[in-house]
Structure 1
Amino acid sequence: MSQTPLLDRALVEEATKKSGLLWVRGTGPARALWHVWLDGAAHLIGDGPGEQPFPGLADGGTAEVTVRSKDKGGRLVTWSAAVRELAPGTEEWEAAVAELKGKRLNAPDAERMTERWARECRLLRLTPQGAPGTLPDGSLAAVPLATPATTRQPVPAALPRLLLKRGRRAGK
């Protein structure tokens, strides 16, 4: 038996575990999505109010997952995934949500987050299929997707002086 499939699987698992974001492409453009790795698959929560959207990912479909390096941000590996939606309340759903809850940053309702996820969101399991693909030679750069998010306004001109003045006062 060849060791290549085992090494491929180990590469996918280790790279995906360590990366905070995955680039996932279903039927639409690729999106950066946060996830957790659990029981041999990546788990994503979203498609609800205030959560990450993942259009183009459907139960029973497939997706292309690109994993980036946590250190340098470059592509490490690309793999094909079978997409399966987990039903709320199942043992598998509860285990995945327990892991995801610890990784969710800035949740507006941390105490009731899991109930909201069960009511309003989808939990997807992306299971690797076959061997990882080869990385493309090009950059794959694309125009950013439209979003309602906005950037911060420029820092007020007086702010640096105020901060410096406060620092001098504390040093006396």
Structure 2
Amino acid sequence: MTPALLDRALVEEATKKSGLIWVRGTGTADRALWHVWHDGAAYVVGGGPGEQPLEGLADGGTAEVTVRSKDKGGRLVAWTAAVSEVAPPSSRLRSDRGDPHHGELWETVAAELKAKRLNAPDGEAVTGRWARECRVLCLAPVEVHTEMPEGSLAARPVETPATTRHPIPAALPKLLLKRKRKRG
């Protein structure tokens, strides 16, 4: 096998097995995105209300993708991706491309994404909402970066209003202590 085929196989296997990929679009910080791997590319959905943000990822642009190990969290491989938007059936984008199979690809990829989507607020109707309000993007590998960078790649997390840190309710220690006494 040639080095190019080995690199391609590494990208595919690592990306398939990873739950998240780290993507840096134009002018944005690295962002963790959940995805599916289909026919040699990673597909992501987002950009709409309640979905993952896709800032900096534009149709026809490029993005830097880093895949990390599920076990250790270390970088396995990085690659440059060509970004293209996959249009849903009966979409304005589909007629612009002139590709009758583009809508079929969207349906196939959307079904795979739906299977991986955790806690969708609209359940089975999620693909309809994605077709109306979100974007499905294809991140196709263009160039594999096999050299490891020097130093740490640690970065500050992206600012978000989401939080898991709140002061504990005042009554909680008392309730927990009461439960221990009943058991003991």
Same fold (TM over 0.5): yes
Aligned to 1:14: 13
Structure 2 residue aligned with 1:85: 85
Give the partner amino acid of 2:7: D
Q: How big is the shift at 1:57?
A: 0.6
d(CA) in 1 for partners of 2:181, 2:109: 50
1:32 aligns to what?
A: 32
Tell whether the 8 Å contact from 1:84 to 1:126 is kept in structure 2 after alignment: yes
Deviations 1:34-75 (A, max 9, x none): 111111110000000010111111101111100010001111
Q: Distance in 1 between matches of 2:51 and 2:179?
A: 38
Tell me which amino acid in the other structure corresponds to 1:135: M
Q: Is the 8 A contact 2:45 2:52 kept in 1?
A: yes
Q: Among 121, 124, 149, which residue is 1:108 paired with? A: 121
Q: Structure 1 CA distance, aligned partners of 2:76 and 2:106?
A: 28
Question: Secondary structure at the residue paired with 1:22?
Answer: strand
TM-score, reference length from structure 2: 0.84
Structure 1's unaligned 5+ residue stretches are none
Equivalent residue, structure 2, for 1:136: 149
Higher alpha-carbon deviation: 119-128 or 143-152: 143-152
Deviations 1:83-111 (A, max 9, x none): 11000120110111111101111211112
8 Å CA contact 2:22–2:30 kept in 1: the answer is yes
Name the CA distance, whole Å, in 2 between partners of 1:138 and 1:102.
37
Do the aligned partners of residues 38 and 91 (structure 1) sit closer, same or farther apart at CA in structure 2, a change above 3 Å counting?
Answer: same
How many aligned positions are there? 170
Q: What's the TM-score, normalizing by structure 1? A: 0.89
The Cα RMSD (Å) is 1.9
Which whole-Å CA distance do the structure 1 matches of 2:123 and 2:53 have between them?
A: 19
Residue equivalent to 2:97? none
Cα distance, 1:168 vs. partner? Answer: 6.9
* Contiguous gaps of at least 5 residues in structure 2: 90-102
The percentage of aligned residue pairs carrying the same residue is 71
